[in-house]
Structure 1
């Protein structure tokens, strides 16, 4: 057993050594890494995208062109209202940069570089988007390169008007038509879709917040990967929210927003009051019920168990806690101020292995006679009138907007953010009225990027598993390379071990090749009888057992000693010579 264990460890060491040597062969120099990255980039070549149909695009920016970015995007220099001067400025830092990792060659993005600062940047649309017969499609990428602790990455579609004429003053109070995108703080993960609705009756504007989706959004903020957010608002007053091209939320502009677009037709009459004699009780105590004469309201809920007996081993005169004799009075203890010092109490060690210590008292049990305070049973209330509600009256503020899709015209787009995490990357913004255009734009940017990331993330073992599934004959190679060498090592090790054990047994047998008595015969015989099974042990070969008897000189030299010992040996030796030990024939 020891042989197999030792050889197994040896085999694993050899195989792991080979694996490490092979792993060392896979280590490459930085120049070679660059060549690999260049090869991957050549497999996924990136060219700044061009919209499929520019006539159906209102803005499309890939942020690869620095000159275009500086011309179109305007950083806000506004100040927030109602807060201190030190934190009111929009002094967050924006820049164009390549992604920190997994980027396509030549691809850049708009990066929010600062944290814990207000930051705002905006750009006018190529042409205003008017809500009429075409859908609104907003799509952009977000990568939380350093994760997200608290803050948003949503986009605002700014309403056409005087405020969008001067984007350098873009701030949180700038009117917007739609706000869309991810937001997180602590454990609260959101994907906003808010639109501002104008009351057709009085002209007031109110925010309508979309219902919260059921799907989880945590990975978006933690996996450091680019994610594609898409909002589709249709002329039939339906909407869809997609994350990474999968529907994340959907519904109706009428039914899935809080507060609803249209107010109720009727409301409670605020002047209506509940009558004083209105009885809302469904059940009342039975007025004819009488408490039974034997009902004892004073009976306790629990009583002493009179049948209880103090457990065996209970140390009734032993305290449960004793002073800690090892405790020392603090050096700064002042008896005049702190009082006389006493050592703290500790659990009495004498009570550790017994049923208990201290004065024993029988336990309490539930009182079978306990009934509690008597109450009359309940019956149906004959005067019950139901739950009172004020009467309904027509809602004076009622209106019916049959097409909430027709929102305020959009003329600009921007990010107005505050975040506790930096290096948030935005990329490939497009606003269009064609889903085909949005899909083509994503295919040349986001889809290509995620394909490259998946390719680079595929580990050596995953590639090997994929290749093996495609080529089952690889299993034969694995057996030849790994299993056969390991089995050979085990065989050789164990064979060598068995040969060594046989050799030792042979040397031991050669030490005794005569029938003559020797001094260690008794010891050997006792050891053999105690440790070995005579039936399991191979018998000695008769040919090996026949040997020349030692000479008398050898015997005298061997058994020289005290006179008593010589006499004893002389008494034993002739006897042994006359009756040599018999051996069983050797098993073939």
Structure 2
């Protein structure tokens, strides 16, 4: 079935074989031909390679040809109101809104919620005999499919096909085929109208949903079956039917089991005992507020200004949940709960036993079917001489294209290769991912593998270089750690490295004690003896902590002389 993005090709084949060949129905299928592998997708209006086997081939690219061959219905639908009975839906020849090929056009249903019908004659009637029938067309729901159909009718040859302006739902058809949807009900209609060879009546045969009939859409198997066996009602009626005059006897007993007539209800069986009783052992839970009602009048409610006591009665505020019950176990009058009654047995019924008079399920006797016939060749349907779309849909902008009816499957396949396959190929190309495009380009130009390998090698080399090269911080560290003692000038001058940090925020009261004085004094004496430290100014203890300042009152600065080797 068609989807909003992809155009759908509907394809059905009928074949038949007669005596001295194959005595059954061969095949009926809907299928899509595989997409071509070439990338070039030029388009020109298709032409069947063997027109002698074609009954209609319409690509809708030629507006003048369309106006000449196709007739819009001017009929009215029967049995409905006059204002909606007319077939006034709009049809147009336009290019697809998207994904179309340059120069390709289609027949578009422009109206929704209107009855729409249009038809065209075949070049000659198709007679169902020994030649197969191949019907193929495309449908694209450009705005999605809400509720409605997109099926094609093959109109039965007769007087009504001579005036296609009167085409409507009552116009006889031989085959109806195509998608239909409303809500969650999806269908692929395949209906053929069968003529009863015995009395000449016509009956629609609908394809059943579960069978072995081959119906393939977009290369997916949807159904499979045969004209003889897998339609409902069946083509051939049953040889026997129930006798309508046969009636079931009055004494016919169909009961397999019956109540035991000898069973007696026990004396202690109390049918009046209730199923549940009050739990006598239940106790009101602690915290149950029996004096608090579950609901109280809303204290914030105000009587409306337009309240009329005479008309509306005495005003009462609305009730709200009692806030006092929010955290309580319960409120209001407490009642014990109900429990199952151990003495409850319910209504007594006698046990069932085998029915000694059982005769089985009654069925009327079978008699030969007075309407029985056997049609071995249901393929021999009524000849067709026109095709048409007779639709009502809640979806507009439904596009139909490339209708072909032929007796040769290869003609239909070639027609699809020039139309449908190219559209699918374009959609596929436009939806390709970057990886798919690179893969396709590489398949076309294998020399690109060398370029890919070169890029990969350069990438790997770059990664290795970034991971293994010396870091700038390590190189700088090695430079700083090089020995410089041989280059230093031996001098007593204070260098930048010799000057120790100045101590700040020293609590003089803590270091003014005798032990600290001796400690610092001994350390200074040791330094003086070694001739390595000089004190420029004597430290004066103070009861208040002092901070280093520029100028007077600075902390003592120690100068370290380089040691002599």
Q: Residues 294 and 164 of structure 1: is their aligned pair in 2 closer, same or farther, counting only changes over 3 Å? A: same
List alignment gaps of at least 5 residues for structure 2. 1-37, 473-499, 511-531, 548-555, 557-565
Deviation at 1:311, TM superposition (A): 2.7
2:90 is matched with which residue? 93
Higher-helix-fraction structure: 1
Change (3 A) 1:322 1:105: same
CA distance in 1, matches of 2:320, 2:464: 66
State yes or no: 1:126 paired with 2:123.
Answer: yes
The two structures, once aligned, show a CA RMSD in angstroms of: 3.6
Q: Which one of 429, 439, 449 corresponds to residue 403 of structure 2? A: 429
Once the two structures are superposed, the pairs formed by residues 232-311 of structure 1 within 5 Å of their partners are 240-311=214-285
Change (3 A) 1:282 1:106: same
SS of residue matched to 2:262: coil
**Distance in 1 separating the partners of 2:457 and 2:169:** 65
Indicate if the aligned counterparts of 1:129 and 1:409 stay in contact, CA closer than 8 A.
yes
Mapped partners of 1:84, 1:520: distance in 2: 114
Taking the aligned partners of 1:549 and 1:321, their CA distance within structure 2 comes to 92
Q: Is the 8 A contact 1:64 1:109 kept in 2?
A: yes
Q: 1:302 to 1:48 in 2, by over 3 A?
A: same
Alpha-carbon shift at residue 556 of structure 1 (Å)? 5.4
Q: Unmatched 5+ residue regions in structure 1?
A: 1-40, 215-237, 493-511, 523-545, 562-576, 578-588
Q: Which residue of 1 aligns with 2:188?
A: 191
Report if the CA contact (8 A) 2:509-2:543 is conserved. Answer: no
SS of equivalent residue, structure 2 residue 225: strand
Separation (CA, whole Å) in 2 of partners of 1:54 and 1:171: 30
Q: 1:45 to 1:294 in 2, by over 3 A?
A: same
Residue 557 (structure 1) shift: 11
Deviation at 1:390, TM superposition (A): 1.8
Residues 113 and 423, structure 1, Cα contact 8 Å, conserved in 2: yes
1:239 to partner: Cα distance: 5.4
Match of 1:326 among 282, 286, 300: 300
Report deviation, 1:431: 0.9
After TM superposition, give the deviation of residue 84 of structure 1 in Å: 2.4
Distance 1:519 1:270, change over 3 A: farther
Give the superposition deviation at 1:460: 4.0
- Indicate if the aligned counterparts of 2:259 and 2:351 stay in contact, CA closer than 8 A: yes
The yes-or-no answer on 1:57 pairing with 2:31 is no
CA 362–70 in structure 1, closer or farther in 2 if over 3 Å, else same? same
Match of 1:44 among 18, 41, 45: 41
* Partner in structure 2 of residue 210 of structure 1: 207
Residue aligned with 2:88, SS: coil
Q: Which runs of 4+ in 1 moved over 6 A?
A: 464-472, 477-488, 546-555
Q: What is the match of residue 345 of structure 2? A: 371
Could you tell me whether the CA contact under 8 Å between 1:164 and 1:412 is conserved in 2?
Answer: yes
Of the three residues 141, 144, 147, the one matched with 1:147 is 144
| Preserved CA contact (<8 Å) 2:191 2:206 | yes
> Does the Cα contact within 8 Å between 1:272 and 1:391 map onto a contact in 2?
yes
What is the aligned partner in structure 2 of residue 70 from structure 1?
67
Aligned pairs, number: 457
**1:213/1:248 contact within 8 Å kept:** no
Looking at structure 2, the residues matched to 295 and 478 of structure 1 have their Cα atoms a distance apart, in angstroms, of 96
Give, in whole Å, the separation in 2 of the partners of 1:520 and 1:385: 125
Secondary structure of the equivalent of 1:87? helix
Alignment deviations for residues 13-58 of structure 1 (CA, whole Å, 9 cap, x no partner): xxxxxxxxxxxxxxxxxxxxxxxxxxxx993111211223222211
| SS of aligned partner of 2:426 | helix
**For 1:233-252, what per-residue CA distance to the aligned partner results, in whole angstroms no more than 9, with x for missing partners?**
xxxxx953331244322201
Q: Output one character per residue of 1:384-422: Cα deviation in whole Å (capped at 9) or x when no partner.
A: 111122222222222111111110001111111111111
Deviations 1:80-116 (A, max 9, x none): 2222222222111111111000001111101111122
Distance of 2:231 and 2:546 partners within structure 1: 115
SS state at 1:438 partner? helix
Partner of 2:214, secondary structure, is: strand
Residues 375 and 86 of structure 1: is their aligned pair in 2 closer, same or farther, counting only changes over 3 Å? same
Q: Distance in 2 between matches of 1:154 and 1:444?
A: 23
Cα gap change, 1:479/1:547 in structure 2, threshold over 3 Å: closer, same or farther?
A: farther
Partner of residue 518, structure 1 = 506
Map 1:13-52 → 2, pairs under 5 A? 43-52=40-49
- State the partner residue of 2:492: none
> Structure 2 vs 1, CA of residues 515 and 559 (structure 1 numbering), >3 Å: closer, same or farther?
closer
1:335 to 290, 300, 309: 309
Alignment of structure 1 residues 370-409 onto 2, 5 Å: 370-409=344-383
**Residues 448-527 of structure 1: matches in 2 within 5 Å?**
448-460=422-434, 463=437, 476=456, 513=501, 518=506
Q: What is the aligned partner in structure 1 of residue 545 from structure 2?
A: 559
Distance 1:514 1:313, change over 3 A: farther
Deviation, structure 1 residue 548: 9.9
The reply on whether 1:136 has 2:133 as its aligned counterpart is: yes
1:257-282 Cα distance to aligned partner (Å, 9 max, x none):
11111122222222222221111111
Question: Structure 1 length as normaliser, TM-score?
Answer: 0.70
Residues 153 and 173 in structure 2, CA contact (< 8 A), matched pair in contact too: yes
1:442 alignment partner, one of 407, 416, 421: 416
Q: Distance in 1 between matches of 2:152 and 2:462?
A: 56
